[in-house]
Every structure is written in C-alpha cells, then in structure tokens.
Structure 1
Amino acid sequence: MPASPAHARPGRRKTIVATTIGNALEFFDFTVYGFLALTIGKLFFPTFNSYGQLLLTVASFGVGFIMRPLGGIVIGAYADRAGRKKAMTLTIFLMALGCLLIAGAPTYAQIGVAAPLLIVLARLIQGFSAGGEVGASTTLLVEHATPQNRGYMASWQFASQGLGILLGAVVVGLLSFTLSPQAMESWGWRVPFVLGLVIAPVGMYIRRHLEESLEIPAPPPAGTKRESSLSEVCRLHGRTVLNAILTLIGGTAAAYVVSFYMPTYAIRELGMAPPVALFGAAITGLLSFACAPFVGLWADKVGRKPLILWSRIALAVMIYPGFYWLNASPTPAVLFTVVGLLSITLVIQSVPGITMLPEMFPKHVRVSGMSLVYSVGVALFGGFSPFISTWLVNATGNKLAPAWYLLGMTLVSLVGLYSLKDHTGQDIDRAARPAA
C-alpha cells in the first residue's frame, strides 16, 4: 500500500479506511453469488439440464443489475439531499438484508418454485443497494481530496472492490477445497452469505463516524418546487451522461467477465478444479487492491484519459490471444497468467475511469450524475456479461466467443472516451462550472 500523499490530512486517511472497509463488505456480499453459480444452479434450478442451470444462475446474477439504475437514481438523490454518509449507511443495510434472504433461502427441493423467486428478490435488493453505493462512496472520497490527489483518493473505491472480490474468492475457494461436494451443496454454500451478514454491522458502525462532505442544502421556500437532481442531470448534462455510459461499457464488460465469469468458464469449459478457478479470481482481486492506489497517483500526474486510452488498447490487443492460449493450454499456470495480465490492464483503465465520473458533475447533483452513469452502464454491459458469454459459447460452439464480445465492447467504448473532458488537477467545485 503506497503512502498517502503528504498533503492528505488524517481525516482523509480515516475516510479511506472507513470507505474501503464498508465497500469491500458490500462487494463481498454481492459477488460471492457469482462464485457459487454452479452450486446454486443445482439447488435452485434443478429441473433444467446443467447448461440451463448455469444460464439461469448467471441470469439471476444479472438480475441484481437491473435494479442498479433505480438504486442509483433513488439513493443518489438521497445522497445529494441528505448527505453522502446517510446514503452509504443505508446501502450497507440493504446489502445485508439481501444477504440474509439468500443465506436462509430454502432450496427448490424444499419449497419448489418459490425458492428461485426468493433468490431473485434478494438479488434485486442487493442490486438496488449497489446502484447507490458506488456513486455515494466515490463522491465522498473525491470531495475529501484536493485537485492534486483526487485520483489517489478515488482509487480506494476500486481497491475496495478488489478486496471484496479477493475475500469472496478466498472464502469460497477454501470451502470448495475443504468440504465434500455433498457438504458444499448441503450447507457450505450458505457460509459466505452468513459471514457477510455477520460483519455488515461493523461497516454500518464505521460509516456512521465518517465526516460528511456535503453541506446539506436548505429546504426551498414555501410554495416553490425544487427541480429533482435526476431531471437537472439529464437536462444540463445529458450529452456527458451518454458519452460516459458509452465509455464505461468496455471496462465494465471486461471486468465482470474476468472477475466473475472466468471461474465458471475455467470449471465448465476447461475442466479445472473449483479451487484452482477461484484462485484465479483471487488474483484479480489482489491485483486490483494492491495496484489501484499506485494507478491513482499515476492518474494524478499524467491525466485520466491517456491511461484509459492506452490500457484499453492494450486490453483489446491481449483479449483474443489470451483466450486462445488458455484454450490451447488449459493449465493453472496459463489461467493465472492470462487473468493476471488482463487484470492489470483493467486496473489501469478503471481507476482513472471511476475518478472521472464524479468530476463531471457539480456538487449538488454529483452523486446522482455519477450513480446514473455507473449503474446504467454496469446494468446493461456488466452484470449480464457472464450471461452473454455463457450463451455465446453454447450458441456458437466456440469457446473463444467471450473474447470477441469483449473486443467489440472495448473498441466501441473508445468512441465515448474521445468526447469526454479530462478535469485532472482542476477545481471541480468552482462556481458556475459548465457541463463537462
């Protein structure tokens, strides 16, 4: 972990720690579902064949992302009105609620079709929570930064995602290694969700002691109507929103395939053992957590757009050869190498990307604007990437199909990047700042 910049006050270090811990808990709760896709498919969709079980499980993983735009809009508006801290406490409570429903859900054998419906409900609640979490937490980090270290501060949001993925992969991997398949299907799959539920109160307690970064606006005079934050974002910053969503699709599609679909791909398509495949996912989380702060410092020096552009080009060049090599030589060493290289390019583009989002909007609608962009982009092209990849492999019979999907998304995203303004080193809170 790099040292905090010299001008970062102790309050900023406290903000980093509190935000990182809480966000890591959220992403742990949200992502372990993806790592348990094969087991959950057997227990909750048993009337289908193995392909149908997998397809429905990754689809229910994607269902959580359907609610992200709504969560981003509702919780984003709440954060812009009541404060970032209250919004972040709310999101971790909702994530814990979804975790509780999954941890205690009866299987299909016990209650029939109501079992998968309960799982879908839990994923919808978690998706709603995640839709507001990223915008509120990233904005809080950025607003505790100076113009010279916003990239470093925002990098901890992405680092915390990596930490959550790392913890989720390690826990599920250890369970898969130590338990028999029968024990794993009987009760072992519930353990990660119980752990997430138990530690959620810790995150809520920490977040209540954060320093608020928003000066709560006074209520409007009687008889006047305040324009909603969503309406203002769309009216004044509509073009920015569209270009930002377009820019986001390349990185988010690749992130969800590499981080969440790759373990399932390695097990189902390449015949690898579950602990080996999950160790590959742990590598992604570890690299994201370890490298993100350094990339944030780098982005503060050279700007956001150059890092996004060149790392995305590198990703486009590496995707197909990586999948080809993995299928030609499906060994753990090759899996770890391919996942590691793709993960590094993801970190280099994702940290400046997530920093740019709150920089595009004025403070009084900042969470709403960022949440809208992030949740819509991730909902459309992130959460359903595992589903699309699974369907493409089956429909085409080509195990390299996910590589072509990622290549297309990566190249299309460069169009939106060209139109965005880079605010590196600028005061994003100056009065009457024009739309990005």
Structure 2
Amino acid sequence: MTQTLTQPSPPTADPSTLKRAVIAGVIGHFVEWYDYGVYAYVATTLAVVFFSSSNPTAALLAVFATFAVAFFARPLGGLFFGSLGDRIGRQRCLATVVVLMSLSTFAIGVLPTYTSVGVLAPVLLLTARLLQGFSAGGEIAGAASFINEYAPGNRRGLLSSLLPAASATGLLFGAVLMAVLTANLSKDGMNSWGWRVPFLIALPLGMIGLYLRLKIEDTPMFRALVSAAEADPAPLRSSVTGQFKWIAVAFGATLTYGVGFYVVMSYMPTYLKGVAHFDTGSMLAITSAALITHIVALPLWGALSDRVGRKPVLIGASVALVVVTYPAFLFIAQGGVAAAITGGATLGALIAAGAAPLFAYMAEMFPTRVRASSVSIGYNASVMIFGGTAPFIATYLIDRTGSQVAPSFYLVAAAAGAALTLALAPTSKSSHQDALRQS
C-alpha cells in the first residue's frame, strides 16, 4: 500500500515569508477554535437560557446534543472546503472559513432566549452551531495543508504542532474570559446578558484572522502544482477512489486527539463544576493547568517527531493514555485541587503527544493535489463520530452509571483504537515524503 504519484519539487519559502505564513495559519486557527470551543464553557448557562428548566440534566444533555450535532456538519464543510482548497488554493479557503466561523459565533451572541421565543430559540442555536461546524470542517485540513506545505521538511512536526497549540490557547482564552465574567457578574447577570460576551467578541477576532490570512500568498507547493498544470479538477473523487486506505489510517490516527481534546479540554469545565463539584476558582485552576501543560508540551512533542518519526510518538501517546486515563480521572474526581491539577496536567501532556505529530503525519500521507480533500475526509469523519459526541456521551455515561470516572472509559477505548490503527498502518511512500527528504 504505497503512494506513487509524482509532482514537481516545490520551491522553499524564505524565512520571512515562512514566519508570516505560520502566524497567519496559527492566529486564524486560534480564532476558529476560540469561537468553536467557547460554547462548551458556557454550556451550563446555555442550558438555562435556551432550554426548558424543568429538568436540568435533560437541558444540559440538550446543550451537548446541539454541540454534537454541529459535528455532523464538519464533514460537509470538509468536503466542500477541502475540495475547493485543492482546486483554487488553501489561502482563499482559509480566509473564507474564518469569516464564516466568526459570523456564526457572533450570531449566537445575539439570539433570542427560550423565555422570549420558546422552542424557536434552540432551533436558532442549532442553526448557528451547524454553520460553525461547516466552517470548522474546512479549517483543519486547510490549515494543516497550509502549514505543512510552507514548512521545511525537518520542522514540519514542530511547526504543525502550533495548530493544536493555537486551538488550546483559544480554549484557554475562553476559559479565562468566562472566569472573569463569572467572578464579576451575579448569576442573574450571567443568565441575562453575560453569556453573550464571549460570542460577541468573535467578530473583532475574526477580522484580525481575516486580515492576516489575506496578507499571505498561497503555499509554494500549491503554486508549483498550478504552474505545472497538475491541479486535480476533481480532487474529492480522486481522494475517495485513490486514497481510501490512507484516509482510513487518518481516521483511526485521529481518535486519540479527537476524543481526548473534547473530553479533557472542552468538556472538563462542565465536569469539574457539575460532577466533581469544584468551585469556579478551582475549576479555572484545574482547567488552566491542563491547557497550559498541553500547550507547552505540543511543540516539544512536535520537535521530537521530527527526530524520531511521527508514528512512534503517536503510538506512545495512545498507549500511555490507555494506562493513565482511569487513574488520572480518579485524581480529578476524588482528590483535592492539587490532585486534580496533577491528573488534568498529565492528561493534557499525553493528549499533546497524540496531537503534535498528527497534522504533519496526515499531510505527509497525501500528494499535494488531493491533500486538503483527503485530510478533510479522514479527520472530520473521525471527529464527527467520536469527538463531537464526547461531551454528550460523557454526561450520559455519568448519568446512567453513577460513576464519576465513566468518561475515562470512552477515552481509553479511543486511544486503544488509535494505537491499533497506527501499529497496523504501513509507512507512507508518498511523493510528498520524497519532497520532504529533498528539503
């Protein structure tokens, strides 16, 4: 199972252009995932504002169901923007998705509530979330292709690890913002207008991301492809017919990060407050420790993957999570603040190892002409099925089993699936790797 496609050797970007390209990709990614992730941080308030309060657990499940449903739009967005990116270029698609994400997030901040319009409120919320999902589906494959096609071969792991670091930084920014709001507003103030603030901020952030992405030209690899008249007119069809086995590898390899990110990084504030019963200050400390550890560890793991290879780091992370996740959740659920910080930080560091090499690993599987389409299909399908449903499944498992550590079982299963996929996957022989050796 090898890749044999040929493509022109790409020119390399000068250091100044590379720096601007990385900043454009990373800043835009920060904006995208702040917009997308802040929903989870406001989940308990949204349950009150957008759904009937007669059953709090049912309302929270409805919020997370809305969160999960948005992920079903991600493959559609990935198919649309991935195919478009392979035909017209990464840069224009990335500029478009950051605008769409910012506008749909801003729209949530101005929606009427359940008390104002009844069942229309959750319908409008769902519509905005679907638009967010459509945008997010186009972001990750475009950004991964963009960064990896600019990066020199011996730094792809390091530079592409900045994408998940930007995602986590966006979540951290959202967590800190919510902590400031909850510390300075009463419960009534949060329920009446405070919850809107994180969503309204999305608009100016989006304009910054758009400006940066419009200021950089498309990648050297894509421009070389266009110059050689070798761009694929039907990249989506070519991906499905010619890259299916590698797409399946990308699907499985994503499980550790896809589930880990949404169980630990996104769902954690709700878990700490509603299940482990930490106060707001402790919740912020624990969440921040996990996120900061995750962010700091990402470039370290990415740099390691440049030295030892992507698969050893990814497999090691997945196996470690199979072993460590359950005791880490025991620390979080049954220990004090210090124990919970230790558990959260440990999970954050290991999930970083499952994320840092992932985007370079996926990008290196596929030739330039179908890269964005192929990564979109594998990554977004995995996150749709297993990642987006993680907060809902975690809440459901706790409710049904009565166990505070029930979410750990889901992450253990996902990590085991990723480890098995990676262990069975052969080494890619794509022409992109030939270009990597030349760079």
Task: Give the TM-score, by structure 2 length.
Answer: 0.91
Give a deviation string over 1:43-79, Cα, whole Å, max 9, x none.
Answer: 1112441100110111111122110000000000111
Counterpart residue identity of residue 287, structure 1: T
Give a deviation string over 1:96-147, Cα, whole Å, max 9, x none.
Answer: 1211210100100001111001110010001000001011111111001122
Instruction: Tell me if the contact between 1:161 and 1:285 (Cα under 8 Å) persists in the aligned partners.
Output: no
Give a deviation string over 1:150-186, Cα, whole Å, max 9, x none.
Answer: 1112111111112111111111111112211111111
Q: Which residue of 2 aligns with 1:261?
A: 267
Q: What's the secondary structure of 2:112's corresponding residue?
A: coil
The verdict on how the C-alpha distance between 1:48 and 1:357 changes in structure 2, with shifts beyond 3 A counting, is farther
Percent of counterpart pairs with the same letter? Answer: 32
Instruction: Tell me if the contact between 2:331 and 2:340 (Cα under 8 Å) persists in the aligned partners.
Output: no
Query: Is 1:428 matched up with 2:425?
Result: no
Q: Which residue of 2 aligns with 1:401?
A: 406
Query: Is 1:272 matched up with 2:278?
Result: yes
How far apart in 2 are the matches of 1:163 and 1:217?
35
How far apart in 2 are the matches of 1:419 and 1:231?
26
Instruction: Tell me if the contact between 2:332 and 2:341 (Cα under 8 Å) persists in the aligned partners.
Output: no
How far apart in 2 are the matches of 1:358 and 1:419?
19
Query: Is 1:50 matched up with 2:56?
Result: yes
How far apart in 2 are the matches of 1:406 and 1:248?
12
The verdict on how the C-alpha distance between 1:34 and 1:301 changes in structure 2, with shifts beyond 3 A counting, is same
How far apart in 2 are the matches of 1:153 and 1:421?
24
How far apart in 2 are the matches of 1:417 and 1:172?
38
Q: Which residue of 1 aligns with 2:85?
A: 79
Q: What's the secondary structure of 1:212's corresponding residue?
A: coil
Query: Is 1:122 matched up with 2:128?
Result: yes
How far apart in 1 are the matches of 2:151 and 2:257?
24
How far 1:430 sits from its partner (Å)? 4.8
Instruction: Tell me if the contact between 1:174 and 1:275 (Cα under 8 Å) persists in the aligned partners.
Output: no
Matches within 5 A, 1:29-428: 29-213=35-219, 214-215=222-223, 217=226, 228-329=234-335, 331-422=336-427, 428=432
Give a deviation string over 1:270-299, Cα, whole Å, max 9, x none.
Answer: 111234223333333323332322222111
How far 1:374 sits from its partner (Å)? 1.1
Q: What's the secondary structure of 1:148's corresponding residue?
A: helix
How far apart in 1 are the matches of 2:31 and 2:135?
12
CA RMSD of aligned residues (A): 2.2
Counterpart residue identity of residue 201, structure 2: L
How far 1:219 sits from its partner (Å)? 12
Give a deviation string over 1:283-325, Cα, whole Å, max 9, x none.
Answer: 3332333232222211100111111111211111111111223
How far 1:250 sits from its partner (Å)? 2.6
How far apart in 2 are the matches of 1:20 and 1:167?
15
How far apart in 1 are the matches of 2:433 and 2:277?
53
How far apart in 1 are the matches of 2:161 and 2:431?
18
The verdict on how the C-alpha distance between 1:8 and 1:149 changes in structure 2, with shifts beyond 3 A counting, is farther
How far apart in 1 are the matches of 2:229 and 2:51?
51
Task: Give the TM-score, by structure 1 length.
Answer: 0.92
How far apart in 2 are the matches of 1:26 and 1:174?
21
Unaligned residue ranges in structure 2 (runs of 5+): 1-12
The verdict on how the C-alpha distance between 1:99 and 1:246 changes in structure 2, with shifts beyond 3 A counting, is same
Give a deviation string over 1:249-272, Cα, whole Å, max 9, x none.
Answer: 233112210011111111111111
The verdict on how the C-alpha distance between 1:107 and 1:345 changes in structure 2, with shifts beyond 3 A counting, is same
Q: What's the secondary structure of 1:46's corresponding residue?
A: coil
Unaligned residue ranges in structure 1 (runs of 5+): 1-6, 432-436
Instruction: Tell me if the contact between 2:250 and 2:375 (Cα under 8 Å) persists in the aligned partners.
Output: no
Counterpart residue identity of residue 323, structure 1: F
How far 1:227 sits from its partner (Å)? 5.5
Equivalent residues, number:
421
Pick which of 318-327 and 303-312 moved more. 318-327
Q: Stretches of 4+ moved more than 3 A in 1?
A: 216-221, 421-424
